[in-house]
Structures are given as structure tokens and as C-alpha cells.
Amino acid sequence: ILDNLESITGSQLAIQHTLPPEEQAALRDFLAKLAKGNTLVLLGSRSGEDWLAKGTFEENVYDLRGLDEQAASMLVNRILERYEVTQYREGQHVESLQKLIKVLDGYPLALEVVLANLRHQTPERILEALQAGDVRVDIVLNDEQKDLFEQKTKSILRCIEYSFSNLSPEAQQLLLCLAPFTSVVWLERIDKYTERLREQPVLKDLPFQNWLNVLIEAQNWGLLRAHETVGFLKLQPIFPYFLRSRLNEPARREMREAIETAFRQHYDELGALFCQLFSSTEPQRQVRGQVLVGLEYENVSTALKLALEARVAVENLYLALSRYLTSIQDVQRGFELGVSVLQSIETYPPAILEGSLGWEIAEIIGDVATKYFELKNYAGAKIVYQRLLEQVGQIEQIDKSRSNTLKAGTYHQLGRVAEEQQEWKEAEQHYQQAIEVFRENNDGYSQGDLYYQLGTVAQKQKHWQEADKYYQQALQIYGEYHDRRSQGYIYHQLGMLAGAQGNWKIAMVYYQKALQIKGEYHDWHSQASTYNQLGILCRQQRWWKEAEDYYQKALQIYIGYNDRFNQARIYNQLGNVAGEQKDWEEATNYWLKALENFKDYPEDRGIDITLNNLRSIWIESGNEGVLTAVAHVLQTSVESAKERMLHIAL
């Protein structure tokens, strides 16, 4: 066993007493001879040791990373049991504990040292300490415990310091600029970050021209490594904590503030980019936005926290996170994020809120209200939308036209809240209020959306003629303003209206018009919903082949958008088509695929509908394989799956 091989050739890393070239050659020859025999040789290094590879270990390299998810989970459970803190596995702290484990990235030493502090601190407090670079993670300790924990804390910091101290002083200074990062660094954007760093007077003399070499050095010493996603570097989990602890030294206060300013400004720009990706009509760009924010989530969150503390604009940062959580259907986290940010913003001084940031807080209030709406908390949504109307009243003197647009949009949303609760009169009243505000603003175009909404209210009450009248008004307005794209949505609704009245041929014509227009605008995701409706239309007429074709077209689009929820809905429909043709094997396969996707959305009744379908096949056929397959998908025992299927309440 030969460890710490990096010290053999480490002169470029300022390591003293390296091995002379002739001794290096002798060692290489010796190991090459051993490689041809039966001796087992284990080499350990923080560097690649390419000079030694040929004739010895060649390509036989194992990159020591964190434990895999299963092994890390086992270690975490043992640590929690050892320190008698298993209560953090559930309840209000569980999310913070999971976040803490994610930050530590499966590294055993990091897990053992940091999680030991759970005896005296909550997961939230430890996360705060790591984020702040607080050297004293464990606070309330008696002297005996203090010796033990301080020794452990020092041991993990010394592991990092050993590598860090072997870098050149210039490299050490430059790497301090990575202190705000958590988990990943987007290498392709390091130049943009550097531009922001250079704008800070206290940082302008750092050797930014050496970034690439410094990052390579840091990788050689195990402080960074290439991420699985090309273009990203992954930070050793305790490294940012180490850097923050250094920046927290009083002598570096000015430097820390400058780095944090550059960091939040850089991520404000990235936040705008992420929002553009989420707003794109191209599925590939939306998926890229989802992937990027998934990687950068902690960094964007840190920048958001810094921006709130600095009392500056947070719109790009907040919306990037909010839209990401929406894209992965994590409504609850999106709601909690919105409430938290809103509470922070409302502590801004009035002078800031009544200025340009007043519009920003209004947008965030609206977004939070939408989260309430998505969670079906209609009472909460109504209260927050009313709060938004108050906010609009405070800033309307700045721009009357703009405030009217926001006010009308809020009435629109209040109408949707009422509509979801089947409070038809109130919904109509709010939609009419919105129309009146738009008329006051001489905004004829925006009235089209309200007539569309009035049409849906009438349609839900089966007031067919009234619904058709409102849809036709919306269609005319969009035509006058050359908004062909919106006309496509109206044709879709007219198709549903015709279908609901049994006018199949008319419905088919409207749906085909909708498909054509949506295709012209590359609005593929919306096109999928129309294919779904065509599938339903064909299924109602027992045109099985056509129904399956339309459902398959919708499915492929949803797969392209990584929209698992709607994939589940289409698999369910395909199962229904197969089931109605008595093709039970194919129906079962489709319903199992639906279940696989629905299990990520346990609150949606679709999972129970799917389980009910599978239960029918199981009971009628007596095929225990169905029960086994359901248990496998739900990752539970056969008995538990059986119990759940027997007690479905639809």
C-alpha cells in the first residue's frame, strides 16, 4: 500500500521534499515488475499520477467519491441511532435533515463529524452553521463533550486544510471566491462570474487569469472533481464550509462582502437565463432549464438569501426557483418558498417597496397566491389575491396603466378561485370586473382571455349557447388583434363544447383547427392536450385504432417534455382503450406504467383510479402476478399492496 503519492511529484503545488527524478524512475520500475506478478498493490493519491500509470495501474482507477445512496442511508441511520437522535427522521425536521445529508454528499467522515452535532443542534441550525462557515457548529456542550467534538471538527477541517495549504498563496486567494457555492460550479460560466468579481475594488487584483490552472490544482488535491454533467465541477462537500470559515475571519470581512455581492449579481443574471428557458415553447429548452436549476438549486437559493439580506431585487432568483419547482410538480415546496420570500420582502423599508420594487413584490404576491390556488387552498388564495389588490393600490400612482393591468389580472384570478369552488355568480362578477378595468385601459385584446373564462363558466353549467357566445367573442377579439395562437386555444374549447353536446363531426373539425394552429407555433405541449381530447372523442365512438393513435401522439409529446404527470394520464387512457377491447394483458401493462408515473403524485386521485382498474383485473382474473407487479411499482410488500387495493375510496 502506497498512499499520498501526490507528494512525489508535487513541486508545482509548492510541496517540499519531493522524490528526485531518478528515485521516481526506480519506483516506477519496481511497481511495473510487481504488476506482472501476484502481488496486490494499492496506490492512493489526490492526483492522477499519469507519470506512473504506464506499465503499472494503467486505466485501473477508482475515483473515491461519496457513498452510494443506499450505503449513505445505512450510515446515516447508524449515526442517528448512535447519538439517539432518530426523531429527526420524521416530523418537521425531516426535510432539513435530507437537505443536510444531500449537502454532505455521502462522504463518511463528513457525515460522521457533522451529524454528531445533532445531539445538541437541530438540522436547521447545522445547515445555517455550514452555510455561514461557523467553525463552532456545536454550541451548547459541557467540557467533556467539547473536547470530543472540537477534536472531530478540527480533524475534518484539517483534512481540507492539508490539501488547501499545499496550493500556492495566489490559488488559495482565488479559491476563496468559491465560498458562496454549494455542491457545483458551472465551469462554462466562470468567466461571467469573474467579470462580476473584477467589478469589486477589493478583488480586482486577484490572479483571475489563472482560474483554469487553479481549478485543475484543486481537482488534483480532491477539493473539486468533474461532475457527472459535462461542464460542471463538483465541490468536496466540506470545502465550501472551510472557505466560508476563512472568509469569516474579521480581517477578510470586506473581501467576503465583495465576493457575496459578485455572487448574487452573477446568479441574478443566471436567474434571468433560467426563466427564459422555462418560458420557451421548445421542449428541449424547458428541459434544459429544469436540469440546470436542478443542479444549481442550492446556489440560486444562496443568492436569493443574500439578495434578501441586501434588500435588493430578487425577481429573477425567486422566479427561477419557483418555475423549477412548478416544472417538477413540487407545489408544496414552491408554496413554502413563496411564503418565505414574501415574508422577507415585506420587511423591506417602505421607501423601497413603494418604488420600483413595489411591482416586484406584487408579482411575488401573485405567484404565492397562485401556489395557494394550485394547492386547492382557495380560501388562502382569495386572501392573498385581496392582499395583491391592496399592494396595487399602494403603487398605482407610479403607473396607472400598469397598475390597472395588474388589478384586472387579479380580478381574473379571483374569478378562477370562485370558479373552482363552483361559485358561478361570483366568478362571473370577477371576470366582468376585469373586463371593465381593461376597457378603462383601452385594452381590447386582454378582454379576449376574460370572455374565454366566461365561456368555461357557462360550459361547466351546461349553458351551451351562452358558452358558445362567449367563445365566439373571444375568437373575434383574437382575430382582430391577429393572435392566431390564442385562437387555437379557443378552437380547442369549442371542440370540447361540441363534443359535450354529442356533435362529433363539429368537434373533430374544431380540434383539427386547434392542432393546425398549435403546430404552426410549435406549441407542442398544448398540442398534446388536443390529441388527448381527440383520443377521448374517438374512444366515445369506439374507434379504437384512431383513439390509440391520438393517445400515442400525446404520450410522445409528454415524454419529450418529461411531463410524468400527464404521461400517467395518457397511459391510463391507453389502458382503458385496451381494456374496452378485452385485451387485459396490454391494459395491465399500460395501467402499471400509469401507476409508475402517478406514484410521484400521491395527492392526485389518478393513482386511486389506476389502482381501481388494476384491482378489477386482479379480482376478475385471479392473477396474483398483477398484485406482485403493483407491489413492485409501489416499492412495498405484496400484503401492503393488497390492503391498499382492497380499500380504495373513489
**Cell numbers at 301, concatenated:** 437559493
Average pLDDT on 578-603 reads 91
Q: Which three cell numbers stand for residue 173?
A: 486567494
Give CA–CA dist 602/635, Å, rounded.
14
Is the predicted pLDDT of residue 132 greater than 70, yes or no?
no
The x, y and z cell numbers of residue 355, run together, are: 418604488
Question: Is the per-residue pLDDT at 143 higher than 50?
Answer: no
Residue partners of 200: CB distance under 8 A and separation at least 6: 258, 259, 261, 262
Average pLDDT, the chain: 88
Q: Alpha carbon of 126 to those of 25, 67, 113, 207: distances in Å?
A: 48, 21, 11, 34
Distance (Å, whole) CA 389 – CA 372? 16
Greatest Cα-to-Cα distance within the chain, rounded to the nearest angstrom: 95
Q: Which of 34-43, 273-282, 629-638, 640-649 has the lowest mean pLDDT?
A: 640-649
Q: Rounded mean pLDDT of 577-581?
A: 94
pLDDT exceeds 50 at position 144: no
pTM above 0.85, yes or no: no
Tens digit of pLDDT for each residue in 454-501? 999 999 999 999 999 999 999 999 999 999 999 999 999 999 999 999
Helix, strand, coil percentages for the chain (3-state, nearest 5):
75, 0, 25
> What is the pLDDT averaged over residues 42-55?
84
Residues whose CB is less than 8 angstroms from the CB of residue 41 and which lie 6 or more positions away in sequence, other chains included: 1, 2, 31, 34, 35, 56, 57
Select from 136, 210, 201, 200 the least CA-distant residue to 173: 210
First CA to last CA across the chain, in angstroms?
64
Q: What is the mean pLDDT of residues 559-573?
A: 94
C-beta of residue 368 within 8 angstroms of C-beta of residue 339: yes
CA 511 to chain centre: 34
- Mean pLDDT confidence for 407-419: 96
- Cα 530 to Cα 488: distance, rounded to the nearest angstrom: 10
Mean pLDDT score, 100-120: 80
Is residue 233's pLDDT more than 80? yes
Residue 287 has pLDDT above 80, yes or no: yes
Residue with grid cell 397511459, as numbered in its chain? 571
Q: Rounded to whole angstroms, how far apart are CA atoms 555 and 568?
A: 9
pLDDT digits 0-9 by tens, 149-185: 455 455 566 667 766 776 778 888 999 999 999 889 9
Distance of CA 454 to the CA centre of its chain: 34
> What pLDDT score was predicted for residue 8?
80
What confidence score (pLDDT) does residue 135 get?
A: 53
Cβ(405)–Cβ(390) under 8 Å? no
Query: In 481-563, which residue ranges form alpha helices assigned H by DSSP?
Result: 484-500, 504-520, 524-540, 544-560
Q: pLDDT exceeding 70 applies to what percent of the chain?
A: 93
Contact present, 175 and 221 (Cβ < 8 Å): no
DSSP secondary structure, 234-286, as one string: EE-TTHHHHHHHHHTSGGGHHHHHHHHHHHHHHHHHHHHHHHHHHH-SSHHHH
| DSSP, residue by residue, 66-82 | PPPHHHHHHHHHHHHHH
pLDDT of residue 146: 47
Cβ atoms 24, 8 nearer than 8 A: yes
Mean pLDDT of 235-244: 86
pLDDT single digits (tens) 343-355: 898 888 888 877 7
Query: Cell numbers at residue 576, please?
Result: 382503458
Question: Which residue did the predictor score with more confidence, 217 or 371?
Answer: 371
What's the pLDDT score for residue 491? Answer: 98
Mean pLDDT confidence for 297-312: 96
Please say if the pLDDT value at position 148 is more than 50: no
> Do residues 315 and 345 make contact, with C-beta atoms less than 8 angstroms apart?
no
Q: Residue 208: what pLDDT?
A: 94
Give whole-number Cα distances, 307 to 138, 267, 314, 446, in Å: 28, 10, 6, 34
Confidence of residue 12 (pLDDT cuts 50, 70, 90): very low
- Strand pairing category for 232-235 and 224-226: antiparallel
Mean pLDDT value of segment 92-111:
81
- pLDDT above 70 (res 13): no
| Residue 534 contacts residue 550 (beta carbons within 8 Å) | yes
Q: Assign 134 a pLDDT band (cuts: 50, 70, 90).
A: low
| pLDDT > 60? residue 50 | yes
In the chain, what are the domains?
A: 5-53 (no CATH), 73-165 (no CATH), 169-310 (no CATH), 483-562 (1.25.40.10), 565-650 (1.25.40)
Residue 592 cell numbers, joined: 402499471
- Give me the pLDDT at residue 538, please: 96
